[in-house]
A and B are shown apart, each in its own frame.
Chain A
Amino acid sequence: MTTVVLNRRTLLTAGSSFLASGVLATGVSGLLLPARADGLAPTESMAGGANNYRKGAAIVDRIGKGGFWMSGTVRRAGDGAPLAGQRIQIWAHTVEGQEHEPQSHGATLTDKNGAFRLEMPQIIPIFGQPHGHLAYDSGEFKTVFLRPVMRSAKETSLEAHFVLQPA
């Protein structure tokens, strides 16, 4: 008679390999982005980047009372030329409102060096991670949604960089 070997060790191994597959699924995806030899590769949208997006947020000097700086650059894929006058929308869960609320959203334009910088309220952890959201969604180039994570919830600035490809 054959007996199925089902002991604690095999069960624990099965259980932990099940869990490990979860780690691999989330970890490996970052390593599988297509490598491009011809110049600067375009930025891909990040998972969850578009969550709680509100299209058409107004261009503002500052979101709310400020105190936190979101900055970054916008460049063209291939040659990496800076893109001036590009509209970047920014939103996050801050001390002044939740992610989906209108007062948590604002937009700014890049300067002649393709750089942008917008003051906003302090970002605080939401859904387990202190993070911000940024979008390029103006039509000329392909839409990109970013979701950078702060190294620590105590930080008072965050950066995100866009490399755009024609739509």
Chain B
Amino acid sequence: MRLALMTLIWAALAAAICVPIAFAATSPLLAWRGPVYILAGFAGMIALGLMLVQPLLIGGYLPGLSAYRGRRVHHWIGGALVAAIVIHVAGLWITSPPDMIDALLFASPTPFSPFGVIAMWAIFAVALLATFRRRLGLRIWRIVHMSLAAVIVPGSVIHGMLVEGTMETISKAALCALVLAAAIKVITELRARRKPRALRAESIARQ
């Protein structure tokens, strides 16, 4: 029974990420795109998929992974997320340099660009600060990471939803909704889990 539930959870996660990507792979638009542009598009979708895995790992919702292993995998996927974003941006730059430069300079006519660019910088900031997290201290690191996550997740979701590209609308919306829901659930839950301890520590300090 436990094994069945475990399989179901992992299968649901795989489906949430792979179904939208599979739909995109059948898009007629691909016929008129070069390989670099296609790669850039799929790197963006993979980044969105990884963004669903990240909060699930930290929240401990994925069965079969200990809290320690979950955190380790979260770090590696964070690195993969940065790599996916770099491929996304570099591929689009190669495809049409003036359009990418406009986007990075916040001078683009497309409404989704600033959301993507802001989310990109926030992701890079998390990755950079993660390497200094011990020096920052766990409390500060958590506050910084969570506030950046509160920029990254809605920014990426709005970016993805506004783009008219190879992704099929309903499967894209479903993935975006799951990414948003997972992030909100973990942020609220981690706060709730930490709060009682913080309050206890405070009352002990007062005595």
Q: Residues of A with Cβ closer than 8 Å to B?
A: 6-8, 11-12, 14-16, 18-19, 22-23, 25-27, 46-52, 93-95, 98-100, 124-130, 147, 149, 153
> Chain B residues with Cβ under 8 A from A147's Cβ?
109
> Chain B residues with Cβ under 8 A from A128's Cβ?
110, 112-113, 162-165
CB-based contact B99/A48 at 8 Å: yes
Q: In B95-141, which residues have CB < 8 Å from any A CB?
A: 95-96, 98-99, 102, 106-115, 118
Max chain B C-beta neighbours (<10 A), residue from A8, A46, A50, A130: A8
* 15 more A-B residue pairs beyond the given contacts A19-B118, A149-B109, with a C-beta to C-beta distance below 8 A: A6-B143, A8-B146, A11-B146, A15-B151, A18-B118, A19-B115, A19-B154, A19-B155, A22-B106, A47-B102, A98-B95, A126-B96, A127-B96, A128-B110, A130-B164
Please tell me which one of the listed residues A8, A22, A48, A95 contacts residue B187 in the complex, with CB atoms under 8 A apart. Answer: A8
> 14 A-B pairs, CB-CB below 8 angstroms?
A7-B191, A11-B143, A14-B150, A15-B147, A15-B151, A19-B115, A25-B114, A48-B102, A51-B98, A125-B165, A127-B96, A128-B110, A128-B165, A129-B164
The 8 A-B residue pairs with the shortest CB-CB distance, nearest first, are A15-B150, A51-B98, A22-B114, A128-B163, A47-B109, A11-B147, A48-B109, A15-B151
Interface of A is mostly: loop
> Chain A residues with Cβ under 8 A from B110's Cβ?
48, 127-129
Q: Given that A11-B146, A47-B108, A93-B32 are known contacts, is A127 also in contact with B151, CB under 8 Å in the complex?
A: no
A96 to chain B, nearest CB (A): 8
- A50's nearest neighbour on chain B, judged by CB, is B98
* B92: Cβ under 8 A from any A Cβ: yes
* B173: Cβ under 8 A from any A Cβ: no
* B181: Cβ under 8 A from any A Cβ: no
Q: Once bound together, how far apart are the Cα atoms of A27 and B109, in whole Å?
A: 10
> Chain B residues with Cβ under 8 A from A19's Cβ?
115, 118, 151, 154-155, 158
Max chain B C-beta neighbours (<10 A), residue from A19, A99, A130, A147: A19
Q: Once bound together, how far apart are the Cα atoms of A85 and B166, in whole Å?
A: 40
- A149's nearest neighbour on chain B, judged by CB, is B109
- B140's nearest neighbour on chain A, judged by CB, is A6
Q: Once bound together, how far apart are the Cα atoms of A130 and B163, in whole Å?
A: 10
B142 to chain A, nearest CB (A): 10
> Chain B residues with Cβ under 8 A from A126's Cβ?
96
> Chain B residues with Cβ under 8 A from A12's Cβ?
150
Q: Once bound together, how far apart are the Cα atoms of A9 and B118, in whole Å?
A: 20
Q: Once bound together, how far apart are the Cα atoms of A157 and B159, in whole Å?
A: 27
A110 to chain B, nearest CB (A): 25
Interface 1/0 per residue, B152-178 and A, CB below 8 Å: 001100100011110000000000000
> Chain B residues with Cβ under 8 A from A16's Cβ?
150, 154
